[in-house]
Amino acid sequence: MKLSKKDITILYVVIFSFLALSVYFVAKKQFVFLLSPVVLVFILLAIFSLDKLMLFIAFATPLSLQLSEFVSGLPVDMYLPTEPLLFGILLLFILKVIVDKGLDYRILKHPISIIIYLHLLWILITSLTSTMPVVSLKFFLARAWFVVGFYIITAHLFKNQKNIGRYIWLYTISLIIVIGYTLFRQSKYGFFDQQFANMAPNPFYNDHTAYAAALAMIIPFMFGLIFLKNYSYWQKIIAFVVIVILTIGLIFSYTRASWLSIIVAFGAFIILLFKIKFRTIVLLTVSSALILALVWTQLIMKLEKNRQDASSNFMEQFQSITNISTDVSNLERLNRWSCAYRMFLDKPVFGWGPGTYMFKYAPYQLSYEKTSISTNFGDVGNAHSEYLGPLAEQGLIGFLLMLSLVFTVLYYAVHMYRTSNNRNDKIIVLSSLIGLITYYVHGVLNNFLDTDKLSALFWAYTAIIVIYDIKNKQQQNTQKNIVDI
């Protein structure tokens, strides 16, 4: 395309203006301005090629760094470059809603989406009633851009099913870089140094449990790829090699919650694979609960005899999961959970406000429940539960909405898996579901949905289930119409 004299003049004016401003800001030692071309590129991507921007975010997420790594003492912390980009996407989405352009209402009106909206609305309401409104509104804003970016926009991206593979692979490739970095650091101190393993993924993952949770979520999806018909022999070999790398990373993360989540998820896989009836599952669950209630006292006495602390020995590390006598990590979780419950009793309806637990739980600690790592300063984390955290911060309704989301996703994923006739679709949905189950289990012991690292997978897997449920219903309606004709 040939440029007119007017276009060339405008181009020269823009170039010289940028150069002049660059010289001025460099002279003032304000180098941030030099990033403006990069910002402009991302703005143009968001407007004209949002799918490519979301794929870039998927790749960038495991490698993202907190702003506090570069600048300390700021009132706001966020992950770079992902969260500023997601905030921009949130603004763009609001604009799309206003002009009613380019959105698929089958996604927006899906029952899973409705549950998510209700939960977001309740987070907003409890932010307004919060004991710390500024903290809670920041929490709401972050959750909103995670949901919009990683769920709504990503669901639209996944309508082209090739983008599902691209998204997961880009995240995985980036995660493998983090695994290499982590294992390299561990090699200097010895792979069997369990204490150093806790900090080895820093600064990419400030908690080894978050790092391990991501690994556990990706492994089932990689297994699923091996069984896809449209995958070549070499693609399956690569997927298998990736599984080996992820497994090595998971083992040397020394994260008991993720090990346990993989075992439970495998049990769920067996139930789905052998098509065990739902009523049988309910009967077994109820029976197990009754038996557990009957032997609860004896079980607690037995667990109190377990004094195996966390260790670099893998068997001892696994045995320490049930140590509620001397294992500091386990005891501190019990302390945090007890505080969350007592906080709920004081504010059962609206809770203390999203994101406020860490600032408010200290007075609820009982002296005999505190451990050597307990603190009164709100500087070492939250409620360590994706379920009890909302109970304390958002009241009973927040807790029930979180459970509703989990069970609604399970229902639609299982229904789609059992009714679809497309083998590849069943594999993708099953892989996403098993990946989510690892997080649902992990969420009993930790909570990471306030970070981009796990939100990128949690909401994307949820989006995959929604997209395939819509596709399955559309295919069934088409077949029904053919039969009627």
List pLDDT tens digits, range 320-371: 454 445 567 778 888 889 999 999 999 999 999 999 998 999 888 888 788 8
Determine which helix (DSSP H) or strand (DSSP E) holds 80, and give its type and residue range: strand 79-80
What is the secondary structure of 343-364 as a DSSP string?
Answer: HHHHSTTT-S-TT-HHHHSGGG
**Paired residues of 80 in beta bridges:** 65
> How do residues 417-464 score in pLDDT, each as one tens digit?
989 989 999 999 999 999 999 999 998 888 899 999 999 999 999 999
| CA gap 173, 58 in Å, rounded | 10
**Paired residues of 66 in beta bridges:** 79
Mean pLDDT across 88-93: 85
Q: What is the pLDDT of residue 127?
A: 96
Taking each helix axis from N to C end, the angle separating 50-60 and 162-189, rounded to the nearest 10 degrees, works out to: 20
The residue whose two tokens read 């920041």 is 138
The answer, yes or no, to whether residue 308 has pLDDT greater than 50, is: no
Neighbours of 127 (CB within 10 A): 26
> How do residues 8-63 score in pLDDT, each as one tens digit?
665 566 556 655 665 665 666 655 555 555 555 656 666 667 888 899 999 999 99
336 three-class SS: helix
Mean pLDDT across 466-476: 90
Mean pLDDT across 265-276: 85
Range of lowest pLDDT (71-80, 151-160, 207-216): 71-80
The answer, yes or no, to whether residue 228 has pLDDT greater than 70, is: yes
For residue 102, give Cα distances in angstroms to 95, 156, 254, 399.
Answer: 11, 9, 45, 33
Q: What is the pLDDT of residue 100?
A: 66
What is the secondary structure of 163-227 as a DSSP string?
Answer: HHHHHHHHHHHHHHHHHHHHHHHHHHH-TT-HHHHTTTTTTT-SSHHHHHHHHHHHHHHHHHHHT
Q: Which is more confidently placed, 395 or 317?
A: 395
What is the secondary structure of 248-309 as a DSSP string?
Answer: HHHHTTT-HHHHHHHHHHHHHHHHHHTT--HHHHHHHHHHHHHHHHHTHHHHHHHHHT----
Q: What is the pLDDT of residue 272?
A: 86
Q: Which is more confidently placed, 64 or 328?
A: 64
| CA gap 154, 324 in Å, rounded | 41
For residue 270, give Cα distances in angstroms to 195, 226, 266, 267.
Answer: 34, 17, 6, 5
Q: Could you tell me whether strands 79-80 and 65-66 are parallel, antiparallel, or unpaired per DSSP bridges?
A: antiparallel
Q: What is the pLDDT of residue 375?
A: 75
223 alpha carbon, distance to own chain's centre: 19
What is the secondary structure of 411-451 as a DSSP string?
Answer: HHHHHHHHH---HHHHHHHHHHHHHHHHHHHHHHH---TTS
> How do residues 173-210 score in pLDDT, each as one tens digit?
999 999 999 999 988 887 777 778 888 898 898 888 89
The residue whose two tokens read 């699923």 is 224
- Using an 8 Å Cβ cutoff, are 211 and 205 in contact? yes
> How do residues 119-170 score in pLDDT, each as one tens digit?
999 999 999 999 999 999 999 999 999 999 999 999 999 999 999 999 999 9
Q: What is the pLDDT of residue 311?
A: 47
Q: What is the pLDDT of residue 113?
A: 97
Token pair listed for 292:
């557990």
